[in-house]
Amino acid sequence: MISVAEARRYVQAYTPEPRVVQKSILEAVGYVLACDSIAQEPSPRTTNSAMDGIAYAYSPECRVLTVVGESAAGKPFKGEVLHGQAITISTGAVVPESVDTVVPREDYVVNGSTVHIIQSVRPGQWIRHRGTEYSAGSCVLRAGTLIRPAHCALAAQLGLSHLAVWDAPRVALLASGQELVDASERCDLSDAQVYDTNTPMLQAAVRESGGNVCMVQRIPDELYASEQALQKAIECADIICTTGGVSVGEHDYIRRAAERLGFETVFWRVRQKPGKPFFFARRNRVLLFGLPGNPVSAYICFRYYVQPVIAAMRRYSSVWKTAKAVMGSSLVNRHGRAEFVRVRLTQESSGLVAEALNKQDSYMLTSLTEADGIVFLDADTAMDEGMQIEVMLF
């Protein structure tokens, strides 16, 4: 049995290198850019107008101008604008080289083919000059950027339809236990049956973490069935998460099945509460996390060990959201194992205060839903009332 810190180090050491894939700019939202995107042209591509109005070559004495043409978006004016002349111009339309100033529509009056400027004008006003946002050759989208909708617009401005991003790992979920029933079946449960809570919980957790669920299967407590399900998962997944079947019971077959399929056991059992019967193995690039069957244990092990792997493979910069708080009352750990204590946070005038929930048993799902996060308490240590702590938020 190893410590929590050792378990984390092993998991980090065996985390596979991420894959780069091409995604359309719409599909790339939520992914991290894998390489820089360099502008082939400047922005703006051409000098253009920032307003609807008229454009002319500025001269302080020119207040009445003759309109000789138009520059519209997508249809630029081709001629030359002489002294005393102007063209009407649309927002975004190309500004001819022979003019240097735009007057907004509300700052002049029209009289047939002439216009009379009625407001003061600054030379060069309302002009967007070529390359003022960025020049050709500039790195506009940097590797490591988390793609948001605005980045899609910028990629399109660069003329890109696809982006190279770090791929989301594929995760297979296997729930071991012949007593498990899918809640969608809505049947009357016998005393020997329970609704499967781990599968929907982990499906949601994988998606929330940025992984792609590629397989979901419930398997009976049989060695052959466990082998068959694991073999199928190997063929489609980067990460396999099983729940149940990894303890010392007579009907726990996941470890045996994994070893028969060539998985190398990295560790089995961790000095932690909850989640002691935790199994971690690898076969080439595929990682197998044998999570405990109790739902709280399964969830905390997923969040603490599996979620960082998903984040690393997607090149996400952070995993846990945390909050600073003070302990509302003392906590003492005499279990000889590190403990993940579920806490509720309250906002006081002095800041956040954390209180441990009374419900801490690993079968109590309400200890997750009623908690705001967890506090990590190492083996045989204590946290005194008023002590500054860090809460890992759910």
Give, rounded to a whole angstrom, the gap between the first and last alpha carbons of the chain. Answer: 27
Question: pLDDT class for 334, splitting at 50, 70, 90?
Answer: confident
**Mean pLDDT throughout 93-118?**
97
Same domain, 174 and 310: yes
**pLDDT tens-digit profile of 283-292?**
999 999 999 9
pLDDT at 133 over 90: yes
How would you write 336-374 as a 3-class SS string? CCEEEEEEEEEEECCEEEEEECCCCCCCCCHHHHCCCEE
Percentage of the chain lying above the pLDDT 90 cut: 88
| Distance from C-alpha of 159 to C-alpha of 297, rounded to nearest angstrom | 48
Identify whether residues 301 and 239 lie together within a single domain. yes
- Give one DSSP letter per residue of 239-306, joined into a string: EEEEESS-SSSTT--HHHHHHHTTPEEEEE-BSEES--S-EEEEETTEEEEEE-SSHHHHHHHIIIII
Are residues 176 and 248 located together in one domain of the fold? yes
Cβ-based burial of 303 (10 A; exposed 0-12, middle 13-18, buried ≥19)? buried
Same domain, 162 and 181: no
Please name the helix (run of DSSP H) or strand (run of DSSP E) that holds residue 104, with its range, or none: strand 101-104
What pLDDT does 251 receive? 66
Backbone angles phi, psi at 104, to 5 degrees: -60, 155
Q: Any idea what the CATH number is for the domain that residue 121 is in?
A: 2.170.190.11
- Do residues 227 and 117 share a domain? no
Per-residue pLDDT, 189 = 72
- State the pTM of this model: 0.87
Mean pLDDT of 194-211: 93
Q: Are residues 262 and 372 both part of a single domain?
A: no
Find the mean pLDDT for residues 77-81: 96
Mean pLDDT estimate for the chain: 94
Domain assignment of residue 145, given as a range:
20-42+132-166
- The answer on 184 and 55 residing in a single domain is no
190 compared with 228, residue with greater pLDDT:
228
The pLDDT confidence band at residue 177, using thresholds 50, 70 and 90, is confident
Same domain assignment for residues 10 and 79: no
CATH code, 377: 2.40.340.10
Residue 178 to residues 195, 207, 229, Cα–Cα distance (Å):
11, 26, 14
Q: Are residues 26 and 160 in the same domain?
A: yes
Among 269, 286, 314, where does a domain finish? Answer: 314
Q: What is the predicted pLDDT for the residue at 59?
A: 95
Q: CA-based angle 272:274:277, to the nearest 5?
A: 75
CA distance 9 to 107: 68
- Please list, in sequence order, all residues whose beta carbon lies within 8 angstroms of the beta carbon of residue 318, skipping any fewer than 6 positions away: 311
Q: What pLDDT was estimated at residue 43?
A: 97
* Same domain? 96 vs 162: no
Among the listed residues 332, 272, 267, the one whose alpha carbon sits nearest the alpha carbon of residue 297:
272
Question: Which position has the token pair 């950027």?
Answer: 145
Judged against a pLDDT cut of 70, whether residue 162 lies above it is answered with: yes
Peptide bond into 149 cis (omega under 30): no
pLDDT > 80? residue 108: yes
pLDDT for the residue numbered 310: 97
Question: Do 228 and 270 lie in a common domain?
Answer: yes
- Pick the range with the lowest mean pLDDT from 182-191, 265-274, 300-309, 320-329: 182-191
* pLDDT for position 193: 80
Number of domains in the chain: 4
Check whether 188 has a pLDDT greater than 80. no
Same domain? For 182 and 287 the reply is: yes
Torsion over CA: 200, 203, 206, 210 (sign): negative
